[in-house]
Structure 1
């Protein structure tokens, strides 16, 4: 069972924030029927921050916590991943699931802007954290849930 899915992406000062936001919206729009721009805008928190070198950055973050929306987003990600990305994810699943039962993935911002779901190892990406809920807490059960969702 998914407890929540957190999404986070940074728009650097050299990037157009609207394009970065469009890349994030690819995932958010496919988690639900949030076609209403007002509802979608309300779901994204935007923080103006300063980068390590004093450059301005915008941090966009959102959390999908409704059960149906979380499942829809996980299904969208899985259905739109390439076979190569699925194999890579399968081989790295144990390393991507942390002790807090959070499963970590990163997706290419540029590909998402173009409507594609493409995994990346770059830190300049759309970071997605899937919090897996098991009662009682059990890493093996969490691993099986991740395998069902993305394997």
Structure 2
């Protein structure tokens, strides 16, 4: 069903990295279905980099590969999205699912920091990519799985 879920967020030089990390942890803590810290720090890769204009940025990324954790995170996201966001996802599902069977979503960083799940179209967001597993590889079947999970 889900092969993995990847999450990635950038802390710009004007942002407090601990607040950005807290926004990411909001999703990671809920990938266990228990909402408690069970060594999520080890799951997060942190890269210090330089932005386009030479400004320092910090990139936080994590990949959730365990089937039960991926499913728990997908359920958490779907249960906490507003009706408007669900409707938006439904209307954009074909465009969000690429040829490699990866479903793309972006979540508002500030909302996540405040404990809410909100879709955004901004590039300054928590980027999520959900790799859908179908055997054999089939975009139509992947679309049905995405609809089951998030529709």
TM-score normalised to structure 1 length = 0.97
Q: Measure the CA separation in 2 of the matches of 1:104 and 1:136.
A: 21
Question: Structure 1 residue 35: deviation in Å?
Answer: 2.7
Structure 1 contact 101–142 (Cα < 8 Å) conserved: yes
**For 1:136-147, what aligned pairs fall within 5 Å after superposition?**
136-147=136-147
Counterpart CA distance in 2 for 1:95 and 1:10 is 24
Distance verdict in 2 for CA 1:138–1:80, change over 3 Å: same
User: Contact 1:78–1:149 at 8 Å: present in 2 too?
Assistant: yes
Task: Report the aligned-residue RMSD.
Answer: 0.9
Q: Secondary structure at the match of 1:106?
A: strand
Separation of aligned partners in 2, 1:9 and 1:108: 10
Gaps of 5+ in 1: none
Alignment partner, residue 92 of structure 1: 92
Q: Who is 1:25 aligned against?
A: 25
**Counterpart in 2 of 1:121?**
121
The answer for the alignment partner of 1:47 in structure 2 is 47
Residue 34 of structure 1 deviates from its aligned partner by 7.0
Are the counterparts in 1 of residues 29 and 37 from structure 2 also a CA contact under 8 Å? no
Unaligned runs of 5+ in 2: none
Runs of 4+ more than 3 Å apart: none
Paired residue secondary structure (1:105): strand
Which residue does 2:37 correspond to in 1?
36
Deviation at 1:150, TM superposition (A): 0.1
Length, aligned pairs only: 150
Normalised to the residue count of structure 2, the TM-score between the two structures is 0.97
Please state if 1:104 is matched with 2:107.
Answer: no
Q: SS in structure 1 opposite 2:26?
A: helix
